[in-house]
Amino acid sequence: MKLALCKVEDIPADKTKTVDFFGREVLLTTVNGKPKAILNICMHLGGPMRREGDKLVCEWHGAEFECGQGKCLKGPADRDSRLITFPTRIENGMLTYVYGE
């Protein structure tokens, strides 16, 4: 399964762009120049997140996650938790979700 998410050139370096993924929000951002796609659901109670520097910070209770692999840096989310990151590759200039190939 493949699904084009966004033109790579439209993904901001130090902010996020939100796209729809079957009714769920996915945050697109770049880390060290590489695009990332991360489900916009905090691992504490499901709150939305915003990018602050190198971190994604939950808008509800302030949990912090690193942008690259989604690892929890600060609670109240479980410190062993990770955000859900999407497998992607770039095809024809589009960041594309790829599963099962």
Among residues 62 and 68, whose Cβ is nearest to ligand FES? Answer: 62
Cβ-Cβ contacts under 8 Å for 50 (sequence gap 6 or more) = 16, 56, 57, 59
Residue 49 has which token pair? 């997140």
Minimum distance, C-beta of residue 19 to ligand FES, in the bound complex (Å): 21
Which residues in 41-70 contact ligand FES (CB under 6 A)?
42, 44-47, 58, 60-63
The span from the first CA to the last CA of the chain, in angstroms, equals 7
- Name the site residues for ligand FES (rule: CB under 6 A): 42, 44-47, 58, 60-63, 76-77
